[in-house]
Structure 1
Amino acid sequence: MPGTDIRDIFVAGLKNAHAMENQALSIMKPQLKRIENYPEVAQRLDAHIRETDGQIVRLEEILDSLNEDNSTLKDMALSFTGSMAALGHTVAGDEILKNSFANFAFENYEAAAYKSLLVVAEAGGYGAAVTGLQANLTEELAMAEWLNDNLAAVTAKFLSLRQVGETAKV
């Protein structure tokens, strides 16, 4: 495959990842505002929002090094869909559980995107991008692992709150 094809694939993937991270923020920020009874989830979500901001900066640095910009249209479109997804869970009586499931799925989706981008970076000789992409992947995997490790506790707390008549509000 000619190098320009790999470059095009790499740039498109970076722009998609940038939009994906903006989508993640549009999902997590409304969740964080609504959390009342799950301080451990709020703390981890807040930390991951800060990580996501850093991931966006890393992606912008990689794009800048290639004399490319992020796709404003993709960023806006995915941010909108993320906001709508987050809004959809607010009417559910088990919002914290639905958010936990969706966040776990999304973190694994993001990890898969970074794994793929790392392969393209290696194939295209974009070694300078590997450190930033690996850092993003590591953070996504850590968040997915945290969600996985804490799902049982979140579910148990949800049940406990419901049993004593609490609304189990996120």
Structure 2
Amino acid sequence: MATDQIRDVFIAGLRNAHAMEKQALSIMKPQVKRIETYPEVAAKLEQHIAETERQIVRLEDVLTGLNEDHSTLKDFALSFTGAMAALGHTVADDEILKNSFANYAFENFEIAAYRSLQTIAEAGGYGAAVSAIEANLSEEKAMARWLEDNLVGVTTRFLSLREVGETAKV
């Protein structure tokens, strides 16, 4: 593939990743505001929100280094759909479980996106961008691992709360 074609694919991927991270924020921020009975989940979401904000900065730095900018339209569109997805779970009796499933799926989507970006960066000789992409990838893997490792605990707590008649939603 020609160098400019790789560059075009890389820029599109970086813009998509930027919008994806904006979407992640629009999903996590409403969730964390609603959590009351799962403090460990709230704390982890708060931590990952801070990581996500740093990931956005990293992506912006890579784009700036390539004399490019993020796509405001993509950012808006994905943020909107993320907010709607988060809102959709608020009516579920098992909101915390639905959020856990969706967050786990989304983290794995992000992992795939960053692995692809890493491959494109290496193919295009964008070595300066690789460390930023790897940092984001590492944080997404850690969050996905945490969600997987804690799914049984969250589910068990949900069942326990529900059994005693306490609110088990969030």
Both structures adopt the same fold (TM-score exceeding 0.5): yes
1:48 maps to which residue?
A: 48
Q: Which string of whole-angstrom CA distances, capped at 9 and with x for unpartnered residues, describes residues 7-66 of structure 1? A: 000000000000000000000000000000000000000000000000000000000000
Task: Figure out how many residues of one structure are paired with residues of the other and give that number.
Answer: 170
CA shift for structure 1 position 92: 0.2
Q: Is the 8 A contact 1:36 1:169 kept in 2?
A: no
Q: Is the 8 A contact 1:104 1:147 kept in 2?
A: yes
The amino acid that maps onto 2:39 is P
Q: Which string of whole-angstrom CA distances, capped at 9 and with x for unpartnered residues, describes residues 130-152 of structure 1? A: 00000000000000000000000
Runs of 4+ in 1 over 3 A off after TM superposition: none
Describe how 1:115-134 pairs up with structure 2 within 5 A. 115-134=115-134
2:8 maps to which residue?
A: 8
Partners of 1:2 and 1:145 in 2: CA distance:
37
SS class of match (2:15): helix
Q: Is the 8 A contact 1:18 1:70 kept in 2?
A: yes
Q: RMSD across aligned C-alpha pairs, in angstroms? A: 0.3
CA shift for structure 1 position 167: 1.6
CA shift for structure 1 position 105: 0.2
Unmatched segments (≥5 aa) in structure 1 = none
2:144 maps to which residue?
A: 144
Residue 69 of structure 2 corresponds to residue 73 of structure 1: no
Partners of 2:37 and 2:74 in 1: CA distance:
34
1:35 maps to which residue?
A: 35
Q: Which string of whole-angstrom CA distances, capped at 9 and with x for unpartnered residues, describes residues 46-103 of structure 1? A: 0000000000000000000000000000000000000000000000000000000000
Partners of 1:50 and 1:95 in 2: CA distance:
23
